[in-house]
Amino acid sequence: MVRRRLALGIATAAWLLAGAAWADEPSATITGVEDKTLRDAILRVLSTSKAAPQSRAEARRRARDAGDDVVAVLRAEGYYAYAVEPDITEDEVPRGVVKVNPGPVFVLAEPKIIWQGAPPEDGVNKSALAAMRLTPGDPGRAAAILGAEGRVIAQVQQLGYADAAAEPREVIVDHADHTVRPTFNIVAGELTRLEGVEVVTKGRSNPDWVAQLVPWQAGDVYDPEHVAELERRLRDTAVYDSVSVSLAPRDKVRPGGLRPVVVNLTDRPERTVELGAGYSTSEGPGVDARLIRYNRLQRADTTTYTVRLAKLEKRVGGEVALPHWRRPQQTLKLNGAVFKETTDAYDETGATISADLTRRRKTTSYRTLGVALDLAQSQQLVTSNGAAVRETLNLATLTTLGAVAWDQSDSILDPTRGWRFEARAEPTTSFGDTTLAYLKAQVQGAAYFPFGADAGTVLAARVKVGAIFGALVSEIPASRRLFSGGGGSVRGYAYQAIGPRLADNTPQGGVSLVETSFEVRHRFTERWGGVAFVDAGAIGPERKPDTEDFRFGAGIGVRYDLGFGPIRADIAIPLGKRSGDPAFQIYISIGQSF
């Protein structure tokens, strides 16, 4: 036992000595600095070496270099009456040492602006003085003085003087009263007024359409935020590889003193092809193909042709998206498709056309108004005399849409923090074999809470509530009812499997819905991660589901990060298994489940 302890002690000592030998050697030791903040600032800039100095000359050189670093930090922090003495130790292996006497901190006094050439308006002068944010008595740090000059220039430019620039500043360091007196020499130039835009690159965009996006009127005083907003509006269309918007040079001033804004646009490839696939044991495989064409109408439009082939759905459709339609931040989408759906609850074949108008407020808030017309033939099972019989309905369905959404998450496919919320209402009227009017409303929210270093663990939660008002379950066509179960709702159950069932075990659907999900997501490596989850959901035939209507599913999954988002593979089991429910379900797709 004694030998073991001795061996362990020797090994530990050897490891510590080796660690000390491998540690980087600082260029010099600093003495005389008592202020911790100042000392830390000095230590951060000192260079290091892998080995100790090999001679006294090398140690002295390192000390001199460290002394220069110390002087730079002292001056940057407002210490100008310093004494710095590089030296070396008298040890067998000499090392550099820097003896420092920082002296007193010099403080700011009388910061001022001197306008070179014609001064700007009085209001601009006052705003520039306020933008300095230099308080007499504060330490005269170099960074504070440089930052003040930058803020002055930015403020003057923001108030319309686009060519404002700084000439060499004058900074007086007074050793008599330990003050720093900065004087900023600013050239304001002339007040700039804007004209229209000049699209200088040849591409597929109509210059007249680009001109409609400007957030200013000809003759308005220049504001850099207006120029930046035009660039954002062009980038938001996602049809350009690069966008550059800038004020024309001074020699391009037009008669009347107006200056145009120069726009450079580089179109992305005219068309792209996207392929996608997914799989689950309940919904089967599914593949998607999209052909996307950009800027065909010369106004940053996007045309998408889609083909979807899946066990539950087959669809061929097209969509035209017109960004900034009639006003900025407003997108009109026109859709058309033919489809065939084959589910346990119903079969439906038909065609649809729709138009949605989405208005974006700020960057994460959306409001949508829409209208859709479906012409379809559906087959569903109904209960007659205690038996399930097939019924065929030929219907024309007119649906209007009102929706609001907020997205404060940090990623579409792999959120790690923030929240999302969406609410939608769909007044619906059906004509044909039956005439019916009702309102479908749904609300959904999700939140993401990161834990640990670099958000390595994320707790995610989702809640969804829905209801149909104005009609009974038996009156509403099956394709329009609320359903739950499957990869996008309660994992572990087959698609549509949660809720009431007919005599032959066919899902009936309902008029009320509640779903919730909780996930713990953890990233094990840069690419690989795992998840554990519990889902719950209920479908009710009345205004709200009963407690016994709830079903729970639980499972685990793996994630592999592709760079733009993760591949998701989950396995889940139903915790309230009923007749016809499988023992487990597998889901494979791209992106987190919510």
Structure token digits, residue 226:
């207006």
Q: Residue 17 above 60 pLDDT? A: no
Q: Residue 10 above 60 pLDDT? A: no
How far, in Å, are 124, 292, 380, 428, 570 from residue 481 at the CA level?
A: 63, 32, 12, 12, 27
Mean pLDDT of the 215-227 span: 94
**Among residues 429, 436, 367, 439, which one has the least CA distance to residue 402?**
367
Q: Residue 285 above 90 pLDDT? A: no
pLDDT for res 544: 84
Percent of the chain at pLDDT exceeding 70: 96
Mean pLDDT of the 352-375 span: 94
Q: Which long-range contacts (CB under 8 A, 24 or more apart) does 446-450 make?
A: 446/409, 446/415, 446/419, 446/420, 446/421, 446/594, 447/418, 447/419, 447/420, 448/409, 448/415, 448/416, 448/417, 448/418, 448/419, 449/417, 450/416, 450/417
Tens-place pLDDT, residues 167-181: 999 999 999 999 999
The pTM of this model reads: 0.79
**Distance, CA of 502 to chain centre:** 45
For residue 320, name the pLDDT band (cuts at 50, 70, 90): very high
Amino acid at 81: A
SS3 325: coil
Mean pLDDT of the 20-28 span: 66
Give, for 66, the enclosing helix (H) or strand (E). helix 56-76
**How many DSSP H helices and E strands does the chain contain?**
7, 28
CB 454 within 8 A of CB 477: no
Mean pLDDT of the 191-220 span: 92
Mean pLDDT of the 428-435 span: 95
Q: Residue 4 above 80 pLDDT? A: no
For residue 148, name the pLDDT band (cuts at 50, 70, 90): very high
CB 308 within 8 A of CB 315: yes
Q: Residue 444 above 70 pLDDT? A: yes
SS3 486: coil
Mean pLDDT of the 136-145 span: 94
Tens-place pLDDT, residues 51-100: 888 889 999 999 999 999 999 999 999 999 999 999 998 888 889 999 99
Indicate the average pLDDT of the chain.
Answer: 91
**Among residues 175, 147, 170, 181, which one has the least CA distance to residue 80?**
175
The phi, psi pair for 100, rounded to 5°, reads -125, 130
Structure token digits, residue 113:
């602006």
Could you tell me the domains of the chain? 25-101 (3.10.20.310), 107-187 (3.10.20.310), 193-267 (3.10.20.310), 271-590 (2.40.160.50)
Q: Residue 362 above 90 pLDDT? A: no
The residue that leads in pLDDT, 577 or 305, is: 305
For residue 476, name the pLDDT band (cuts at 50, 70, 90): very high
Q: Residue 205 above 90 pLDDT? A: yes
Q: Residue 548 above 90 pLDDT? A: no
pLDDT for res 23: 53
For residue 454, name the pLDDT band (cuts at 50, 70, 90): confident
The phi, psi pair for 62, rounded to 5°, reads -65, -40
Q: Residue 490 above 90 pLDDT? A: yes
Length of the chain: 594
Tens-place pLDDT, residues 367-406: 999 999 999 999 998 877 767 788 999 999 999 999 999 9
Mean pLDDT of the 232-261 span: 92
